[in-house]
Amino acid sequence: VEQLQQHFHDIVVQFRVQQPICKRNGR
């Protein structure tokens, strides 16, 4: 269960980091 939470956290971090980049690139 702990491993799954860590994987989910990694995805959230990647998505949060990719969000601003995509928004900046879109503009």
pLDDT tens, residue by residue, 1-27: 789 998 999 998 888 887 776 666 665
pLDDT on residue 18 = 78
Q: What is the pLDDT of residue 8?
A: 92
d(CA 16, CA 9): 10
The pLDDT score that the predictor gives to residue 23 is 64
Read off the tokens for 17: 């980091």
HEC letters along the chain: CHHHHHHHHHHHHHHHHHHHHHHHHHC
